A and B are shown apart, each in its own frame.
Chain A
Amino acid sequence: MSPAPAVDIKTLTIDGKEVSARAGQTILEVARENSIAIPTLCHLDGLSDVGACRLCMVEIAGTPKLFPACVATVEEGQVVTTSSDRLKKHRRTILELLFAERNHVCSVCVANGHCELQTLGQEQGLTHIRLPYRNPKLEIDGSHERFTLDQNRCILCTRCVRVCAEVEGAHIWDVMGRGIDSMVITDLHQPWGESACTRCGKCVQVCPTGALFDKSKVGSPHPKYPEFLPALQMMREQQ
């Protein structure tokens, strides 16, 4: 029997709490293992990380720079702060930017009460938006037999793109355009219903807002269940 490989253990401090972690773990993973909450939006357990939403930015002592906890890995002796006035201010501003970017009307949204953006807004103490609302005119694609895409509610977290490419393997979703004109699309920007969609519905389950929803849930609560991802991953590894 060969000896168990030596595990490289790092000790660090997060919000004043001394914690230990395996080398290569991200700050986010370690924080959550230790019940320290860091807000996230584009991150989802079971998908690759892109570091796009910038809500999980944390401070590391010794540098003025901020680091996205979802991709920054732990280092020995690191002193991490996950919540400070500066971080809270940035998080609120980022959420304001999201609310003002498209047309988020919580009161009439299918995801009202089950929306990660809405919840984050409340958690971060957002009671109003200081920025002018952009109110762009955007498409709603209802061509799919089971699901709807409402661009008005999309925050471009790209979870749908990643789950379709990485887990389902179909890669019918991607992002077109760039900057403020970026848009998630199916195939050659064709109606979703005419695309090569496998109808698995994973994208709907991982969508944090009401941008992707199940048509049968209109008018009734529409919680999403993205927890299936880590379980799916585990089952695959076991086989």
Chain B
Amino acid sequence: MNLEELKQIAASTRDEQAKFDHEINICMGTGCLSQHSDTIKDALTKAVAASGKNAFVRRTGCMGLCAAGPLLLLTNKGSEHEIVYDHVGPEHAEKIAAALGGAPVAELQCDLREHFESQVHVVLENSGHIDPEKIEDYIARDGYEGLVTAVTEMTPSEVIEQIMKSGLRGRGGGGYPTGLKWSTVAKAVGDPKYVVCNGDEGDPGAFMDRSVLESDPQRVLEGMALAAYAVGASRGFIYVRAEYPLAVSRLTAAIRDARRKGLLGNNICNSDFSFDVEIRLGAGAFVCGEETALIASIEGRRGTPKPRPPYPAVSGIWGKPTLINNVETFANVPPILRKGGEWFSGIGIGKSKGTKVFAITGKIANTGLVEVPMGIPLRQIIEGIGGGVPDGHTFKAVQTGGPSGGCIPAHLLDLNVSYESLIEVGSMMGSGGMIVMDDTSCMVNVAKFFIEFCMTESCGKCIPCRAGTAQLYTLLTRICEGEGTMDDLDLLVDLSATIKETSLCGLGQTAPNPVLSTLRYFRNEYIEHIEHKHCSAGVCAMSKAVEVTA
């Protein structure tokens, strides 16, 4: 494979698609598939054939607006304009086919212009537009151009330079500069070296990585191959949660296709560069998102973290230099190589460059996946793109950064989202989950929920995390049952400090965050539970309510 051959594949695929007057993309991500979007595709294919329209029906990955699924995206030849249909069923197939070329079917048309138009798609640029199981679709949208150009025309250090210039930072939560990580692994002495894609998306309420893997798996493989070329690795692992069967099957197909095209395997582009990827299945342990635990798991052991240093960049899998990046980080790499690091650093704010994919869920109108430029006001994400809190309820807080992040109250909604600004208000970027809570959510109960999560996901190796999260859970349960005391609040703070400062890994170090941030912004709710034995959100059942004497 060389650049010319690649461009030929792209051109012929595009020509093939240009033969059609209409292109109908049907979302077959996990969300829409659960509503049988596969049957819609069959029905539509039949209806189109019967109608005699010159249209092409394609299976694609996620279009983002999962709550309104099944979704369908329609484009007409010669027009940039995209028409989105929501809540589509097989019964609509004939109507949709009949309307092709004319006015869209009004009752199906999704009128959420603001939702779609204020987003900037880099990572999701192909999601909803390509068939995730057709490598040609990816190539037709300039896929693998970055890799082929890099391998045939650039040195590894030139690749790293572009990543450095882009300002890309780890999207898994830490925000560590990606270029710096790559150059550390490149400089590390050891052979072989490994590249690992962390797809152990454990944050409940976050599904960015699943969506990318399901919608555009080749992009992740290309990102990994570019990383491998840059750091001198020959073997890669993608660690995916076993809970994501569709992502696993699409990745399996993608790896097979990339090998067939010579984009993975030995002597890629007839160069000395060889790289291949294996899938490793997670087995239900959140802590395996932590780098050293992930390595232990890939090595077939209990996923317990190890003290760092040594860092995986120096001593990772089987003691060899190992580069670990998350799915979204790798997904950002191909366009950076294609368009240049400077293009990427032109998006974003301060030290937070590029875009970020968020999964917005909870008490929000437009549940789903969005991609926005760094620096966007939180309010625009929640009220604009997300459509605000539905059913006449009022917004109370949004939890970012997953179980170990923090909640952000209403008065901070004008915050510009970046790694730094979120930490300042006591939360963090995390992997990109955003859980919206309204007046029916009890913040003490929310804190208890997150601590219960951290408690059951603690690996148990270090004491502060193992026993500390269990104690936090006991104290919070006591408060939620109306049996807490004001002294318990001091104990919560004291215990949180020890867990944060002395735990071995990131899980424990961040586990108390939900307690601390709810105590910071919603202390009144704690006091209400303790002194008045009352939960105004109506969530906590107070077993020891104050008896009212007549």
Contact = CB atoms under 8 A, between A and B. Distances in A.
Interface stretch (A52-60, A77-85, A107-115): A52-60
Interface stretch (B32-40, B106-114, B392-400, B500-508): B500-508
B460 A156 contact: yes
**Chain B interface SS verdict (over half):** helix
A199 interface: no
Contact of A177 (B455, B460, B470, B501): B460
A94 interface: yes
A65 B509 CA distance: 11
Contacts of A217: none
A94 B463 CA distance: 7
Contacts of B498: 89-90, 93-94, 97
Interface in B473-518: 474-475, 478, 491, 494-495, 497-498, 501-504
Residue among A57, A71, A90, A179 with most chain B CB within 10 A: A179
B503 A54 contact: yes
A229 to B, nearest CB: 21
A23 interface: no
Contacts of A86: 501
B504 A52 contact: yes
Interface in A59-97: 65-66, 68, 71-73, 86, 89-90, 93-94, 97
A97 B464 CA distance: 7
Contacts of A31: none
B478 to A, nearest CB: 8
Contacts of B375: none
Contact of A97 (B302, B458, B463): B463
B279 to A, nearest CB: 24
Given A57-B502, A89-B498, A51 B462 contact: yes
Contacts of B247: none
Contact of A180 (B306, B467, B491): B467
A138 to B, nearest CB: 14
Interface residues of B, number: 33
Given A100-B471, A134-B470, A175-B302, A180 B504 contact: no
Given A71-B307, A175-B302, A179-B466, A90 B501 contact: yes
Nearest to B454: A179
A156 B466 CA distance: 10
A178 B475 CA distance: 21
A148 B254 CA distance: 54
Interface string B335-359: 0000000000000000000000000
A57 B306 CA distance: 15
B468 interface: yes
A97 B491 CA distance: 12
Contact of A93 (B306, B307, B458, B495): B495
Nearest to B495: A93
B285 interface: yes
Contacts of B306: 50-51
Nearest to A57: B502
A155 to B, nearest CB: 8
Interface string B269-298: 000000000000000010000000000000
10 contacts: A51-B306, A51-B307, A54-B503, A93-B464, A94-B464, A131-B495, A134-B471, A134-B474, A175-B302, A179-B455
Interface of B: 285, 302, 306-307, 309, 455-464, 466-471, 474-475, 478, 491, 494-495, 497-498, 501-504
Interface of A: 50-54, 57, 65-66, 68, 71-73, 86, 89-90, 93-94, 97-98, 100-101, 130-132, 134, 155-156, 175, 177-182
Given A94-B502, A101-B467, A131-B495, 13 more contacts: A50-B307, A51-B306, A51-B462, A53-B463, A90-B502, A97-B463, A101-B463, A132-B475, A156-B463, A156-B466, A178-B460, A179-B456, A180-B467
